[in-house]
Structure 1
């Protein structure tokens, strides 16, 4: 197996990643157009323009968002497909490697780890392959496009929004690092539980050991929940401060005649278009760090079967790769 998660991603199909990236670029390029159409619709209605013009702008808006929605639908299905291909490859690879192993590991440990990887660990790692490149490209592109448009409309209001989001650059990686440490502990506990189930030992000591592992899993999961939802709370608070900033500055500019009401509406809509991709980027970063930990554990487990067994399975690995490409 490749040593890094991104090496595995490239193994699963570089041409597919390029195609998905192209769709992502196409989407974020036109992301600001609906904002401009919203601004023009509101300004046309409040400035006394003809109703026919308003209907034309609304029809253009609906046509554009419909085309965007269909493109996103195709992108999501495509990403889901490549992710499932990667999941299938991981599961088959673990099974092939375990068949060719030369009894380098105790049977209960080998079967327990294999069970954990095939049923629980392969899916999130493989699923990440589909979004690994296209997701940050799409969401970062949307952020740049929307922020650039808002700066063009009203620089000071846009700057206020940027300042509100800036603290997240500090606390998000810090909290995620703490989550990652717990995820590694969680995976180890799940593998130990699987090993205990494979052994089929029924004794007071065995039951007590399994109960202790389940309690450890419970404690780790609760710790992850607390960190995860604390991060979400802090991010939501930053977002609401952004809305408050728009109301304060936008209200001042409208009252003093320095901007149109349509600009404020565009900013309110634009903030939601910033909030969603920013949250998606944070989720992607969280998934990246989590799956790097999981992939390293899967890779180490595969290597524990021994180089001889993996060499013996290489033909089947290559056959799977050929199907992907």
Structure 2
């Protein structure tokens, strides 16, 4: 099997990844259009423009929103199909590897149970977003940022400065999450083996399970604390940027140096930047964790079959 999760996604679902990429491009190309329509509507209202103009702009806004959300629906359903088909393929591969092993120990049986019932879910699920998600979110970021810079480069850069600290603390916190995720996988595999061994030896005491269960609990709590701390810091940076855009933009509007619609579009743009940025960070977090799980999955297949894992069964076309 490929040694990385991206290698697996491209080799086994490459044609579908191309289709998902095209849908993602169509979605992010529409992302900045509502901001411009919003700016024009606000300016038309402030300047007491014609009602007919405002109605047509509002109708255009609604039409773009419907088109964008419809494309997202198709994209998400397609992603779900690719993900579930990959899960099915990975389970089949794990089953074939276990069947080829012949006699196995309780530890091997525990690994097989953990792999087939739980570990393939996030691995297969990630294939649906492996390429389309970063393409979509990065495309939205570039489209919206380009539009904001076009409207007022100084104000846009001032607000965007609050994203810089995230480049520092996100990788540090994510690294700590990854280490705990890997330890959790290995601990749960060991627990699965202990369960099978206890069943074979009729050991009903259960004391052997207390330590690994407590360790999984501690690791999960550590992941929660790190993940939500990261979310807190990211949200604080976003709201600080919005405050700057409102304060400085409001002052410039009062001075007559920019339009009120531009300030509104800037604030809306900050909101449209925050969501894809957060989604991109979440994708990076999931990628780093799933890549660890995938490497452990490949190692488990090699252990179960007693030889390097072969190419997985290709998902259905």
TM-score tier, shorter chain, comes to over 0.9
Secondary structure of the 1:131 match is coil
**1:240-251 alignment runs, 5 A limit:** 240-251=239-250
Which ranges in structure 2 are unaligned for 5 or more consecutive residues? Answer: none
CA contact (8 A) 2:17 2:131 kept: yes
Distance 2:275 2:81 in 1: 24
CA distance in 1, matches of 2:159, 2:98: 53
Residues 54-78 of structure 1: per-residue CA shift (max 9 Å, x gap):
1110001001100100000000100
Structure 2: distance between partners of 1:224 and 1:131: 22
- Report the Cα distance in structure 1 between the residues aligned to 2:309 and 2:273, rounded to whole angstroms: 46
2:142 maps to: 144
CA distance in 1, matches of 2:4, 2:69: 34
> What SS does structure 2 have at the residue aligned with 1:60?
helix
1:64-121 Cα deviation digits (max 9, x unpaired): 1001000000001001110111111111111111011143x41x11211111111111
Give the CA deviation at 1:220.
0.6
Q: 1:309 to 1:260 in 2, by over 3 A?
A: closer
Q: Is the 8 A contact 1:101 1:306 kept in 2?
A: yes
Residues 194 and 141 of structure 1, relative CA distance in 2, 3 Å threshold: same
Partner Cα distance (1:95, 1:178) in 2: 32
Asked if residue 239 in structure 1 is aligned to residue 235 in structure 2, the reply is no
Q: What is the aligned counterpart of 1:187 among 185, 188, 202?
A: 185
Report if aligned partners of 2:100, 2:305 keep a CA contact under 8 Å in 1.
no
Query: 1:293 aligned to 2:292?
Result: yes
Deviations 1:119-156 (CA, angstroms, capped at 9, x unpaired): 11101111000101110011001101101100110111
Q: Does 1:281 align with 2:273?
A: no
Correspondence 1:256-275 to 2 at 5 A: 256-275=255-274
The number of residue pairs the alignment matches comes to: 315
Partner of 1:227: 226
Task: Give the deviation of 1:310 after TM superposition.
Answer: 5.3
Runs (4+) of structure 1 exceeding 6 A deviation are none
- Confirm or deny: 8 A CA contact 1:242 1:271 kept in the other structure: yes
Q: Secondary structure at the match of 1:278?
A: helix
Structure-to-structure mapping, 1:1-80, within 5 angstroms: 1-80=1-80
Q: CA deviation at 1:308?
A: 5.3
- What corresponds to 1:324 in structure 2? 316
* Deviation of the 1:27 alpha carbon: 1.2
Q: 2:176 aligns with which of 175, 178, 199?
A: 178
Q: How does 1:98-137 map to 2 (within 5 A)?
A: 98-103=98-103, 105-106=104-105, 108-137=106-135
Q: Is the 8 A contact 1:86 1:129 kept in 2?
A: yes
Question: What is the CA–CA distance in structure 1 between the aligned matches of 2:119 and 2:90, rounded to whole Å?
Answer: 9
Contact 1:100 1:309 survives alignment (8 Å)? no
Q: Equivalents in 2 of 1:15, 1:91: separation in Å?
A: 21
CA deviation after TM superposition for structure 1 residue 221, in Å: 0.5
What SS does the aligned partner of 1:258 have?
coil
- 1:238-297 deviations in Å (ceiling 9; x for gaps): 011111111111111011010111111101111110000000000000001000110011
Contact 1:12–1:324, Cα closer than 8 Å, also in 2: no
Q: Give secondary structure in 1 for the equivalent of 2:101.
A: coil
SS at match of 1:248: helix
Q: Structure 1 residues 310 and 145 mapped into 2: Cα distance closer, same or farther (>3 Å)?
A: closer
1 CA distance for matches of 2:295 and 2:27? 33
Q: 5+ residue gaps in structure 1?
A: none
TM-score, normalization by structure 2 = 0.96
| Preserved CA contact (<8 Å) 1:179 1:227 | yes
TM-score for the superposition, normalised by structure 1: 0.93
